[in-house]
Amino acid sequence: MQSLIPHDPQPAATLGEGEFAVESELSILRDVFRMLPTGVTVQDEHGQFLLVNDAAAAQLGMVAGQPPVLVSKPLSDRREVGLELLRAGRSLVAEECVTGRQGKQVFLTAHRPVRIADRNLLLSNSTDISEQKAVEDHLFRSAYFDELTGLPMRRVIEHRANSLIQRDELRGRFALAFLDIDNFKHINDYYGHAIGDGLLIEVAKRLGLDLRESDMLSRISGDEFMLLLNPIQNEREVAEYIQATLQRLKAPFFIDGSEIFTSTSIGVSFFPEHGRSYDTLRQNADIAMYRVKNDGKGAAAFFDAGMEREALARMKVEQSLRLAILEKRFCCAFQAKVDIRTQDIMGIEALVRLRDDEGVIQAPGTFINLAVELGLIDELTHLVLAEIVKSIDLINETFGPNTCISMNVAAKQAGNPEFMRSFAQALEATGFPGRFMIEVTEDAFVAKTHFQAEILPIFRKLGVGISIDDFGTGYSSLSALADITADEIKIDRSFITDIHLRPRSQGILRAIESLSEALGMTVVAEGIETFEELAYLQAATRIRYAQGFYFSRPIFLDELRPAVPLASEARVSLASRSPQQSRPTHSRPERARR
């Protein structure tokens, strides 16, 4: 203790018993005071220290054995305040003080003017609250800052934008840009989450490169960032900045030895033209970004009123889709897969249809992507399966009791082990899982590690076949063939249309054909519409199977029943049709019309 309490020079042994007890008590008190974990000081009116215990000496940076002098500037300033209070006869004051000594230390000090033995003194006690502060700081950071990138989170940028809007003196404009990394899910699936995280960190760094003090960049969720550019002079200035940002994000990223290319879609809205609240501005920037995604990604767009109308229309479709699912207003059309050598039906494909609010039948082109986007597709797929199970007797009567039934599964679903497991269970529960084939587009195989290792074996065990749909249009093409053990490959209609007139498509077809043969996969040509296309396939290829309007459009089984009292014979055959016949316009299998 750096104490100014005078030590009694007399040795304890010379004292009387009573005096000894007092001295001993005083010595204990002195030691207790010295060792108190809280820093305690007593100062007179002139700031002179009368008592300083060890903790206070350490906090104040006093050197042991030397007269107590304040070293830490902020502390001495604060003490001045305390002394002034003392002189003014005011009571307790508490304060927090941060010192740079020993890292960053925070003290909570209470100064209390006291009157002892007719003297006005300042009694101060300080506690080191660095630890609590660190916890508070951590809690604050995790509530407002993203752990991965260190960027402020959504609520911070929201607060910032709203306070800019509310500031009375604000006459200026600002821009809010919504950024979304394109195909981030593919990158995550393909390279793994660690590299995905690495990419987000690098993107955040590039985005933050030349921001001004008054701008703000925030990560608002997964691969979405929000940029507030404030102030701005005009749209051209923002356009130039955004273009430069787009370019910067297109340059390759090197993460953990992988070279990753990506792009970003950006939508921008302006205050005050496009909204007077953060929510409206964000929503409009999002609408503009959505337009970019639809138009091919990797670009930027400014919001405009036309987009708003589009978004409203989309919202309407969205609502009616949700309602349709709730009311189970879906049905299935079935299209035959035909053996082009014998014209036998070797399978059927279930194609979902929606009966809209007005009872009009809608093809999936209008709603499948939306259903995927809205997370409704899993439910829809289960509805399709339920419809098949409900119609199984009719399917058997119409197409034969052993016909293979193909169902489409969206790429997103195929990469989702949870859904695929529940779907496999539902297929097993039908009692005839071995009759099913699931059609998945190549995009699903980007996450091939999941698919091949985890999902495929489940379906294999049930005897469910796997088909690669729309082959040639997707993301991974030939590499998918090498990695995925599928049973069937369906060549996309874009290769088949006018195949007899297109030597390049013919070459591609031959290559796919021999590759599939080598890998033991059945090839199906999709979208045969004309006799010439069929004739080419029959004459110039070894392809056995095809699907297309030439043979049959997708049909509703219900339509068949009243029109055709089906005989008990099982198999529907198209063999009676001569290939020379012109393109049929019917919408039912040949046999059904007889």
533 binding ligand C2E? (CB under 6 A): no
531 binding ligand C2E? (CB under 6 A): no
Q: Are the beta carbons of 547 and 350 closer than 8 angstroms?
A: no
Q: Choose one: 123-131, 251-259, 511-519, 527-535; the region binding ligand C2E (CB under 6 A).
A: 527-535
408 binding Mg ion? (CB under 5 A): yes
With vertex at residue 504, the alpha carbon angle to CA 501 and CA 508, rounded to the nearest 5 degrees, is 115
List Cα–Cα distances, 514 to 21, 211, 259, 331, 547, in angstroms: 107, 55, 33, 37, 20
548 binding ligand C2E? (CB under 6 A): yes
Among 26, 35, 29, 34, which Cα is nearest to 8's?
26
Which of residues 54, 439, 443, 488 is near Mg ion by CB under 5 A?
439
Where are any strands of DSSP class E within 233-344? 253-255, 258-260, 264-271, 300-302, 330-339
124 binding ligand C2E? (CB under 6 A): no
Alpha-carbon distance 251 to 219, whole Å?
21
* 242 vs 524 by CB, closer to Mg ion: 524
For the CB of residue 198, give the shortest distance to ligand C2E in the complex, in Å: 32
Q: Choose one: 128-136, 452-460, 521-529, 577-585; the region binding ligand C2E (CB under 6 A).
A: 521-529
Q: Which of residues 359-388 bind ligand C2E (CB under 6 A)?
A: 363-365, 368, 377, 381, 384
352 binding ligand C2E? (CB under 6 A): yes
Q: From Mg ion, ligand C2E, none, which one binds at residue 548 (CB under 5 to 8 Å depending on kind)?
A: ligand C2E
Q: From ligand C2E, Mg ion, none, which one binds at residue 365 (CB under 5 to 8 Å depending on kind)?
A: ligand C2E
With vertex at residue 516, the alpha carbon angle to CA 514 and CA 519, rounded to the nearest 5 degrees, is 110
What is the number of alpha carbons within 13 Å of residue 259 lying toward its C-beta? 3
Q: From Mg ion, ligand C2E, none, which one binds at residue 1 (CB under 5 to 8 Å depending on kind)?
A: none
* 262 vs 467 by CB, closer to ligand C2E: 467
413 binding Mg ion? (CB under 5 A): no
Binding-site size for ligand C2E (CB under 6 A) equals 25
442 binding Mg ion? (CB under 5 A): no
Which of residues 469, 488, 533, 590 is near Mg ion by CB under 5 A?
469
Strands ordered across the beta sheet of 93-99: 2-3, 49-52, 39-43, 119-128, 105-116, 93-99
* 306 vs 365 by CB, closer to ligand C2E: 365
Element (H, E) at 98: strand 93-99
Per DSSP bridges, beta strands 49-52 and 2-3 are antiparallel
For the CB of residue 553, give the shortest distance to ligand C2E in the complex, in Å: 7
Q: Which residues contact 512 (CB under 8 A, 6 or more apart)?
A: 471, 472, 489, 491, 523
Where are any strands of DSSP class E within 102-223? 105-116, 119-128, 173-181, 216-221
For the CB of residue 452, give the shortest distance to Mg ion in the complex, in Å: 20
Helix boundaries (H) for 520-577: 531-540, 557-563
Answer left, alpha or beta for residue 230, where phi above 0 means left and psi between -120 and 50 means alpha: beta
Q: From Mg ion, ligand C2E, none, which one binds at residue 476 (CB under 5 to 8 Å depending on kind)?
A: none
Element (H, E) at 97: strand 93-99
470 binding ligand C2E? (CB under 6 A): yes
Q: Which of residues 41-70 bind ligand C2E (CB under 6 A)?
A: none
DSSP state of 63: P
* 255 vs 489 by CB, closer to Mg ion: 489
Which of residues 547, 560, 574, 589 is near ligand C2E by CB under 6 A?
547
Q: Are the beta carbons of 224 and 178 closer than 8 angstroms?
A: yes
For the CB of residue 384, give the shortest distance to Mg ion in the complex, in Å: 12
Which of residues 54, 128, 470, 488 is near Mg ion by CB under 5 A?
470
Token pair, residue 386, equals 């339920």
Alpha-carbon distance 480 to 439, whole Å?
14
For the CB of residue 456, give the shortest distance to Mg ion in the complex, in Å: 18
Handedness of CA 431, 437, 441, 443 (dihedral sign): positive
- Which residues are near Mg ion by CB under 5 A? 408, 439, 469-470, 526
Which spans of this chain sit near ligand C2E (rule: CB under 6 A)?
A: 335, 351-352, 363-365, 368, 377, 381, 384, 408-410, 439, 469-470, 493, 526-529, 547-549, 554
